[in-house]
Amino acid sequence: MTALLQLSGITKTLTGQDEPRTILAGVDLTVHSGQSVAILGRSGSGKSTLLSLIGLFDRPDGGTYLLGDRDITRLPERKAAALRSAEFGFVFQRFFLLKHLTAMQNVAMALVNGQGWASRRQRRARVLAALDRVGIAHLAKHKPARLSGGEQQRVAIARALVREPRILLADEPTGALDAETGNLVVEVLRSATDQGCGLILVTHDQDHAAKMGRVLRLRDGVLA
C-alpha cells in the first residue's frame, strides 16, 4: 500500500503571552491510500494543531513531513496553497459555509481559488457530481439558511471532495450535529476512502472513531 503522507518526529510549541507550551512532542504518523485514521484525545491535547500541520495551515517546529516522497516540511506559502488546493480536502466542526452563496456556489469556492481554471460548465458539472456524491444534489440552489445542520455539513464535505483530494482532513465534523446526523456524516466521509482517498478524522466520539480503519490517541504530545 502506498504511503500518502508520513510524519516523523513532528514537534510544535505554541508561544503567546503565557509560557511556551509544547503541544506536539514528536508525532509519528503514516497514512496510506484508502486508509481511514481516527485521532482521539482530550480537549487541548493538540489534535487540531496536528491537523493544521498536516493540512499545511501551519509549519512544524521540528521533524519531517513527507507527502508521497516529497518533503514538504518547510514549504513556502504559495506552494502550500497550491498543495492545499490539489491534495487536501477539509471538513470542520463549524461548517464554514458562506451564507450569501448557494450550496452550489459554496462548493464551487474550492474550484475558484486561482489554482487553475475550469469553465463555468465544467465547474457546474464537478460541483453537481460532488453534491450528488453526498446525496444532496437536489439542494444545489439552496442557501445555507434553508439547509439543516446535516445538510450543511454535507455541503461542506462536497466542497472538500470537489477537487478529488488525496487526503481528507476532518476536524470534529460531527461536533455540531445530533447523533443520527453525525453517523450519516461519518458514513459519507468514510465512503470517500473507497475511492482511494486517505481520511484523518479528529473526534471525541468513540463510536465514530470505531468506524475508522485505525484509531490513535494523542496524549502528552505523542500519538499512540
Partner 1 sequence: MSGQLRSALIIGVQGIRARKLRTFLSMVSLFLGVLAIVVVQAGSQVAERAMLADVELNSGKDGTAQLFVPSNPKVPQVLAETLTGRSDAVAMRSTSATIGEPGVRALNPGASPFEGPGAGGYGYPMTCDSQGNCTSGEDQSVPKGVAIEVRLTSLTGDVRQFRPYRQESGRWLDFDSAPSLAPRIVLNKQAAVGFQRYRVPAQMRIAGATADPTPQIIGVVDDGGYGAAAYVRQDELSNWVPSTTATAGTPDPRFGGGTSVLLSGAGTDVERVLKSRLAANGVDPSQLRTELVQSRARAASTLNLMRWIFLGMAALVLLIGVAAILNVGLATVGERVEEFALRRAVGTSRLLLAGIVLAETLLTGLFTAGAAIGVGALAFKIAVPLLGSGRMAFLRDLSFPWQAAVAGIIAGLVAGVLGGSIPALRAARIPIATVMRA
Query: By C-beta, is 124 or 211 nearer to partner 1?
Result: 124
Instruction: Give the shortest CB-1-to-partner 1 separation in angstroms.
Output: 27
Residues in 162-191 that interact with partner 1 by CB under 8 A: 163, 171
Instruction: Give the shortest CB-42-to-partner 1 separation in angstroms.
Output: 15
Q: Which stretch binds partner 1 (CB under 8 A): 2-10, 18-26, 30-38, 93-101?
A: 93-101
Residues in CB range of 100: below 8 A, 6 or more apart = 143
Task: Out of 114, 121, 180, 194, name the contact with partner 1 by CB under 8 A.
Answer: 114
Query: Is 113 a binder of partner 1 (CB under 8 A)?
Result: yes
Copy the grid coordinates of residue 198.
486517505
Instruction: Give the shortest CB-146-to-partner 1 separation in angstroms.
Output: 16
Instruction: Give the shortest CB-182-to-partner 1 separation in angstroms.
Output: 20
Q: Which stretch binds partner 1 (CB under 8 A): 22-30, 64-72, 106-114, 206-214?
A: 106-114
Task: Out of 77, 121, 180, 194, name the contact with partner 1 by CB under 8 A.
Answer: 77
Instruction: Give the shortest CB-190-to-partner 1 separation in angstroms.
Output: 22
| 169 neighbors 88 (Cβ within 8 angstroms) | yes
> Between β-strands 70-71 and 62-67, what pairing exists: parallel, antiparallel or unpaired?
antiparallel
CA atoms of 198 and 56, how far apart (whole Å):
16
Binding to partner 1 by CB under 8 A, coded x per residue (else -) over 51-70, reads -x--x-xx------------
Instruction: Give the shortest CB-94-to-partner 1 separation in angstroms.
Output: 8
Query: Is 100 a binder of partner 1 (CB under 8 A)?
Result: yes
Query: Is 81 a binder of partner 1 (CB under 8 A)?
Result: yes
CA atoms of 154 and 144, how far apart (whole Å):
11
Return the half-sphere exposure (C-beta side, CA atoms, 13 A cut-off) of residue 59: 12
> Could you list the residues that contact partner 1 (CB under 8 A)?
48-49, 52, 55, 57-58, 77-78, 81-82, 84-86, 90, 92, 96, 98, 100-101, 105, 109-110, 112-117, 159, 163, 171
